[in-house]
Structure 1
């Protein structure tokens, strides 16, 4: 083989090796920072609600603007990512007696939960949640939640909610903090429920050491409660 040709092939091979190294190291970084981008901020009640009006006691229903979903930490090729999926297909109701929430139940339609990646959504609705068999996740309040006397006058309240969370046909007791504020005649409520996937028969997906999903995550929600007509 002529010297020039041997030199060309050496350069070609070195270039190919260098490209593979760049793809192995830089590919996940490019995906995490450019394709995946920044994760959506946690769901939370806003700061610009309308002044509270009307009687507080009564029954409220989940209305337009409500949202729920998941947040879970992933490792992709050594890059740290927060995966977030959301849906506005949320329904339910809550009953208040004064500033005390005496009953409540929320249902989320899991088939409509989407993230910014179709491959993740296919995993979520298929192998992970099996929405064909278990189309919904529900939470039912089992203990009253006292939002405090100041909530009646419009103060923002934070309290613990205790109830039963049902996912994939498995029901577990949960306790988590919620934040609530009156918004005109309605009430805005947000919170985050910590979840260990194994408790609900869910195995986090993984591909060797390249893709790993944490064994725990969060169920986030923002509820817009309107007085029942």
Structure 2
């Protein structure tokens, strides 16, 4: 049995395949991709009960991160000819630093890298598996 396809049908098939291969991922990333998380916000510290002083403020001493601290990553990725900003964050961070005479003399920070979360479960699986 001989298979025969005319040239016109072959051209239609190839053009359709090219549209699906290029257009499919572009359409998916345009319609279904979530927006990345907003950049970190600076947290204001409640100043109730604090009195103003004159002169220099003494910074020397040991400082620790507060429980609400976060650590994150923000990278650019390219999918289907489009560039996106990807963000992941974790609140599982602890740390401290020591200041002596306006100089940081010692720092310690620890992050549980398994706790990073982004806007995509698939990306989180890659981050926690292949990447880390």
| Conserved 8 A contact 1:72-1:84 | yes
For structure 1, which runs of at least 5 residues remain unmatched after alignment? 1-9, 130-229
1:79–1:58 Cα change, 3 Å: same
Give SS of 2:71's match. Answer: strand
Normalising by structure 2, what TM-score? Answer: 0.67
**More strand by percentage:** 1
**CA–CA distance in 1 between the matches of 2:130 and 2:84?**
21
> Which of 117, 123, 126 is the aligned partner of 2:126?
123
Structure 2 equivalent of residue 102 of structure 1: 105
Go from structure 1 to structure 2 and tell me whether the alpha carbon gap of 1:127 and 1:19 turns closer, same or farther (over 3 Å shift).
closer
Q: Secondary structure at the match of 1:36?
A: coil
Distance 1:106 1:40 in 2: 23
Larger radius of gyration: 2
Cα drift, residue 98 of structure 1 = 4.9
Of 26, 30, 36, the match for 2:27: 30
- In the other structure, the counterpart of 2:5 is none
Separation in 2, partners of 1:101, 1:51? 25
Change (3 A) 1:120 1:78: same
Higher fraction of helix: 2
Q: Structure 1, residues 175-226: CA drift from partner, whole Å, max 9, x if none?
A: xxxxxxxxxxxxxxxxxxxxxxxxxxxxxxxxxxxxxxxxxxxxxxxxxxxx
Partner of 2:94: 91
- State the shift of 1:108 in Å: 0.9
Aligned match of 1:114: 117
Report how many residues are paired.
114
Residue 82 of structure 1: aligned partner: 85
Q: Which runs of 4+ in 1 moved over 4 A?
A: 17-20, 48-55
Give the equivalent residue in structure 1 for 2:42: 45
Q: Distance in 2 between matches of 1:104 and 1:86?
A: 21
What is the alpha-carbon distance in structure 2 between the residues aligned to residue 107 and residue 31 of structure 1? 37
TM-score (norm 1): 0.42
CA distance in 2: counterparts of 1:125 and 1:82, whole angstroms: 19
What's the C-alpha RMSD, in Å, of the aligned pairs?
3.0
